[in-house]
């Protein structure tokens, strides 16, 4: 649903809100603000997410299930930064579509693909955390499972996004209102959706709202609620431990906070655009004033999600900061070794559990250095 009328701001030639275009048209200052905001998101999102991917790929010790999913999130955001944001900046600046039919279709397709891949990658991260904390001695995903899951999310995202190739078209807005031949230079092309019927459009966009936003976030919320309750139940055990186990508990809390923050900010960024599109789909007459301006604000907020992953991941992950510094030093031909925390992201939840069932009353947990080195974040 968030993809609907992405570039043309609902310039549907048959709708009644067009009379408000002149009243609500963006001023020079408003247009400048949008271009600067989109450009800033493009730079931060592209550079930040590229750094996340490079850091994870460069350091073999960071190759664990959760980090593979985080790298997948960044790849999805990079695709948006390369395709959707430049198109949006160009359209905002030119007030018409000048990028051709192929990019018109591709922009809507990529945005739908990206949101699908991102939300279900967040679901996978949450399910992994849920499994490790709620069932610490049960089945645990390995790297092979994460690669397979990533491939499935991209295939599913492509399948869900296919309708945009068929129903996103370039329309000459001015020629639709003229009965005489017009000068080609006076054409005003817009990139918009034209569905076979209103019922088909409503069915598709409503299904996107349900399966691309509501249900995944409900599932994520339930899983994190169970995680919170389980960790609260273990609070007494953790408080009685000292030294290594206390440090692991603090690291564990920080990682959960990081992952939950990524989900929460992602949901908040996309919420305005989903609400806007839901209102437009079911009662378009409710948005008859300043449609384009409202859409621009909602779309800008949604695109801010491309910056969430690198900012949150960078601020709350010490190893990422160390590895990034090492990467920058290496670019200056003066690389320096970095010391990493011996803190396994994908196994930390089992450490407390193992310690709680030890019969010798030891305050420390025997975790092999090889295991810590293999899966440290």
Mean pLDDT of 113-134: 92
Rg (CA), the chain: 24
Cα 333 from Cα 336, distance rounded (Å)? 10
CATH 1.20.1070.10 applies to domain 27-331: yes
Q: DSSP string spanning 347-366?
A: THHHHHHHHHT-SS--SS--
Q: pLDDT at position 186, please?
A: 56
Mean pLDDT of 188-196: 87
Q: pLDDT at position 227, please?
A: 87
Distance of CA 244 to the CA centre of its chain: 34
Q: pLDDT at position 3, please?
A: 41
pLDDT digits (tens, 9 = 90+) for 260-290: 888 999 999 999 999 998 888 888 777 766 7
Residues found in the chain: 377
Residue 52 region, left (φ>0) first, then alpha (ψ -120 to 50), else beta? alpha
Which of 16-20, 295-299, 318-322 has maximum average pLDDT?
295-299
Q: pLDDT at position 63, please?
A: 86
**pLDDT higher at 238 or 164:** 164
Q: Please, which pLDDT band fits residue 103 given cuts at 50, 70 and 90?
A: very high
The answer to whether 296 touches 9, Cβ cutoff 8 Å, is: yes
The answer to whether 225 touches 129, Cβ cutoff 8 Å, is: no
Q: Where are the beta strands (DSSP E) in 184-266?
A: 189-193
Q: DSSP string spanning 147-189?
A: HHHHHHHHHHHHHHHTHHHHHEEEEETTGGG-SS---GGG--E
Q: Is 10 helix (H, G, I), strand (E, B) or coil?
A: coil
Determine which of 46-60, 127-141, 359-373 has the lowest per-residue pLDDT on average.
Answer: 359-373
125-128 contact pairs (CB < 8 A, 24+): 125/66, 125/69, 125/70, 125/259, 125/263, 126/219, 126/220, 126/223, 126/224, 126/259, 126/263, 127/223, 128/65, 128/66, 128/69, 128/346
DSSP-derived secondary structure letter, 137:
T
Distance of CA 2 to the CA centre of its chain: 13
Q: pLDDT at position 342, please?
A: 40
**Residue 218 pLDDT > 70, yes or no?**
yes
Retrieve residue 324's tokens: 């990034």
Model-level pTM? Answer: 0.77
List the domain boundaries for the chain: 27-331
Closest CA to 349 of 281, 269, 249, 282: 249
Retrieve residue 187's tokens: 């054409």
The answer to whether 88 touches 7, Cβ cutoff 8 Å, is: yes
Q: Which residues contact residue 101 at a Cβ distance below 8 angstroms, ignoring those fewer than 6 apart?
A: 169, 170
């Amino acid at each position: 649903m968030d993809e609907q009328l992405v570039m043309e701001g609902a310039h549907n030639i048959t709708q009644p809100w067009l009379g408000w275009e002149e009243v609500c048209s963006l001023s020079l200052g408003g247009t400048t603000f949008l271009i600067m905001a989109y450009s800033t998101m493009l730079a931060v999102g592209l550079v930040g997410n590229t750094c996340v991917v490079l850091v994870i790929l460069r350091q073999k010790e960071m190759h664990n299930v959760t980090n593979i999913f985080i790298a997948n999130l960044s790849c999805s955001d990079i695709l948006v930064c390369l395709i959707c944001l430049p198109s949006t900046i160009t359209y905002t600046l030119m007030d018409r579509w000048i990028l051709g039919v192929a990019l018109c279709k591709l922009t809507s397709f990529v945005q739908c693909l990206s949101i699908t891949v991102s939300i279900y990658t967040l679901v996978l991260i949450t399910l992994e955390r849920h499994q490790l904390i709620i069932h610490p001695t049960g089945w645990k995903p390995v790297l092979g499972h994460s690669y397979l899951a990533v491939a499935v999310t991209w295939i599913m995202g492509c399948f869900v996004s296919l309708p945009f190739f068929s129903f996103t078209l370039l329309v000459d807005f001015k020629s639709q209102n003229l009965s005489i031949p017009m000068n080609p230079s006076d054409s005003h092309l817009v990139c918009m959706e034209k569905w076979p019927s209103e019922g088909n459009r409503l069915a598709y966009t409503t299904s996107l709202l349900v399966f691309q936003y509501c249900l995944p976030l409900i599932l994520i919320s339930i899983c994190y609620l169970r995680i919170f309750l389980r960790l609260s139940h273990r609070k007494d055990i953790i408080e009685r431990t000292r030294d290594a186990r206390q440090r692991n508990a603090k690291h564990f809390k920080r990682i959960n906070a990081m992952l939950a923050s990524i989900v929460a900010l992602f949901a908040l960024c996309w919420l305005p655009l989903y609400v806007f599109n839901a209102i437009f789909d079911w009662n378009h007459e409710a948005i008859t004033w300043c449609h384009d301006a409202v859409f621009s604000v909602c779309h800008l907020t949604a695109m801010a999600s491309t910056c969430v992953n690198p900012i949150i991941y960078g601020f709350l992950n010490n190893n990422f900061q160390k590895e990034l510094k090492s990467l920058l030093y290496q670019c200056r031909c003066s690389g320096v070794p970095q010391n990493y925390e011996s803190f396994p992201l994908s196994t930390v939840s089992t450490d407390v559990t193992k310690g709680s069932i030890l019969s010798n009353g030891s305050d420390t947990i025997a975790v092999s250095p090889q295991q810590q080195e293999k899966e440290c974040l």
